Structure 1
Amino acid sequence: MDTAHIPDLITPAIPVFVITVIAEALWVKKLRAEAGATVKGHTWKDTLASLAMGLGSVAVGVGWKGVAFAGYAALYHLTPLRMGSGLVAWVLLFFLEDLCYYAFHRVHHESRFFWASHVVHHSSQHYNLSTALRQTWTPMTGWVFWAPLALLGFSPAMIVTQQAVSLLYQYWIHTEAIHRMPRPFEWLFNTPSHHRAHHASNPVYLDTNYAGILIIWDRLFGTFTPEVERPIYGLVKNLTTYNPVRIAFHEYGNILRDAARPGSLGQRLSYVFRNPAWKPQGASPPEAPPPVEVAHPSP
């Protein structure tokens, strides 16, 4: 399929991403120097790794978005439903696409097969705007979660446009520079505070706050946790590499290694598809980091 006719809101935003990453790094450096704020800020190795993952994701997306768009188009032509392109259709799509994202995000945390793709985004031990750019090189696991929108009669162009809107919204919430938004906003929308908790490896925060734009799905389905103690960013067992290829594919290798261990077929499949923390009965779980008090710089 010719991808030239597929709506693209991400590529034109790349200069904005670069400028704001640099601006945030300079601002945090100044803040730490003046007030001793307890933020990690940026390290050049981590930031470069995140940028490399982002560029790789864009490169993969050049081919994949055509395949995904063709899949949505095939389903759209199979269904007799047509939602149109008026204001009501866009409002409805806004809520339904965000619900699809919640389902996508939750499954990609709670099933190891899907986590192998999404773990890339959580692999940094820092939390800043460059972390938002640390995206997967294997986006193929996500397509099925938005497929129902095409069957409901939303045009493929509308679906990919709203997906891009959601992705752009989520960029600004990857920062420690903003402590809290006004309370009504915090209650309805995903915010830096909510998403900091999501990126943390503290036991209290694991498998929570899956929101895209609206935090209401987490509140509704019981997966919401407020930011109460200072987040410790990264994985329960962190990577020790900045190599983009290893960041992109390390969990697939771990799955293959575990699935090859002696055991029943059920145990092997459990290593692949159950929760990433799953271990056979009697195995010791990984040690979790201790809780610490929350502290963030004022906006």
Structure 2
Amino acid sequence: MNFVIYAIPAFLLLILLEIYLDWRYQRHTYRFNDAINSLNLGMMSQVTGIAQKTVQFSAYLLVFDQIALWNLGHDSWWIWPFAFIAYDFCYYWFHRISHEINVFWAGHVVHHQSEEYNLSTALRQSSGTFLGFLFYLPLALIGIEPYVLVTVGSLNLIYQFWVHTRHIKQMPAWYEAIFVTPSNHRVHHAQNPIYMNKNHGGVFIVWDRLFGTFQPELEQEPVIFGVTKPLASWNPVWANLDVYWALAKDSWRAEKWADKLKVWFKKTGWRPADVRKAYPNKRFDPYQQVKFDSPLSARQKLYVALQHLTLIALVLQFILASATMSHSGILQGAALLVFTLFCQGYYQQQRRYLLWLETGKNLLLTALYYLYLGPDSAPYLLLWLLLASLLLVMAHGKKIKTIKQHHDRGDYESQQQ
């Protein structure tokens, strides 16, 4: 059973609680655009994941049905803790490789692009991870049932939610030694050189201690969140394509055929020597960080917030309905929702022609609502369209200049976190 869908209301309530604590104690761990972007990427991951996981889950089923050494079942009590620990062990290696090899980093980088660290960051997940399922096939080989895999996998993901906060400094020493905590996971999200590529565990930090990737959070070295090659965009589609595009360009530009292949599978940040010389990356210094933002007026924020709530409702409806939808219906619905998420990011950056794009999107959504909900819904749909259009016109104002990343000095030429 996948418990994640049932945990979503709790996630949202805890985010609201953290926002209140932020205001109460003036911690300033949230920024409007950043949080909305993280949540949009989380929704996009859920939407695209429905289509992707059909293929990935089929591979697991194939191994389990055809070549599994045993069938451990699910009735014995010990199966569940064993599967939970085994899943986290596999997750550790998948997560570690995702930071150490270019193509895996391209699929994982989305989770690290936020320059803030809060509970919304936990929901910032990638839609471009295609090879992760390979790391869990050994569990099928030893006989862990698909039902058990999905259950423990969802519990593993739910655990990881709460560690994305700055409001908890340290847990008791014994807990810090065994489990992933907010402190040691903040290290994992850091771009400080001393912290990079450390603390990969999902639930248990003991894997990092055993395999030499553990690093405690140091009081004298405050964590700087984000990646050393900043995204500088609220576009959720581009967030998933950014590193893939950089690798594709390097592969295309490389003179040697071996380098064209190597660029995908070498250590994170590796580039062919000829490409590095001809097309040097801009150098970024994390200690000179200027956070990316696109300031919005109060009315623009209201419009974004209401559109975001509409998107949450649509995505939840899509997830719940997907079990009875055809594969083509899932692909069409996913494409539409990805388009609406793209529109939201486009609006947040106040890009050119945003009025035309938003108006077209609102008309398209209204038409689709009518198509699927029928004539009885027409009055409500007309009201929604009028309200959305009114808010859009009211919110539209003079374009505000985007605050972009700039670093004047430094020597960190890497695509890795």
Same fold (TM over 0.5): yes
User: SS of 1:204's equivalent?
Assistant: coil
Alignment gaps of 5+ in structure 2: 289-417
- Counterparts of 1:251-270 in structure 2, within 5 Å, are 251-270=243-262
Aligned partner of 2:32 in structure 1 is 44
Distance between the aligned counterparts of 1:270 and 1:53, measured in 2? 29
Between the aligned partners of 2:261 and 2:96, the Cα distance in structure 1 is 20
Query: Paired residue for 1:12, among 6, 10, 14?
Result: 6
The answer to whether the 8 Å contact 2:84/2:153 transfers is: no
Q: Which has the larger radius of gyration?
A: 2
Note if 1:110 corresponds to 2:104.
no
CA contact (8 A) 1:202 1:288 kept: no
Query: C-alpha separation between the residues in 2 aligned to 1:70 and 1:247?
Result: 28
**What residue number does 1:26 align with?**
20
Aligned length: 280
Once the two structures are TM-superposed, the CA of residue 82 in structure 1 deviates from its matched residue by 1.5
Q: Partner of 2:286 in structure 1?
A: 289
Inter-partner Cα distance in structure 2 for 1:16 and 1:279:
43
8 Å contact from structure 1 (residues 29, 41) kept in 2 = no
Q: Alignment partner of 1:135: what SS?
A: coil
Distance, in Å, in 2 between the alignment partners of 1:76 and 1:179 is: 42
> Structure 2 matches for 1:26-105, cutoff 5 A?
26-32=20-26, 39-78=27-66, 79-85=68-74, 86-105=76-95
After superposition, what is the alpha-carbon deviation per residue over 1:37-91, rounded to whole angstroms, capped at 9, x for unaligned? xx44111111111111111111112223333322222111112411222122222
* Structure 1, unpaired ranges of 5+: 1-6, 33-38, 292-299
Q: TM-score, length-normalised on structure 1?
A: 0.89
Residues 255, 158 of structure 1: alpha-carbon distance in 2 compared, 3 angstrom cutoff: same
Distance 1:262 1:8 in 2: 44
Distance, in Å, in 1 between the alignment partners of 2:57 and 2:232 is: 36
- For residue 250 of structure 1, report the CA deviation from its aligned partner: 1.1
Task: Give the percent of matched residue pairs that are identical in Structure 1 and Structure 2.
Answer: 38
Query: 2:270 maps to what in 1?
Result: 278
Paired residue type of 2:53: K
Deviates more, 1:225-234 or 1:138-147: 138-147
Name 1:296's counterpart in structure 2: none
> What is the TM-score when the length of structure 2 is the normalising length?
0.64
Instruction: Give the alignment partner of residue 198 of structure 2, picking from 205, 208, 225.
Output: 208
Report the alpha carbon displacement of residue 17 of structure 1 after superposing the two structures with TM: 1.3
1-structure distance, mates of 2:24, 2:223: 22
Distance 1:197 1:61 in 2: 28
* Cα RMSD, aligned residues only: 1.8
Q: Structure 2 CA distance, aligned partners of 1:108 and 1:149? A: 19
Aligned match of 1:242? 234
Q: What secondary structure does 1:260 align onto?
A: helix
Amino acid at match of 2:240: A
Choose 215-224 or 59-68, whichever is displaced more.
Answer: 59-68
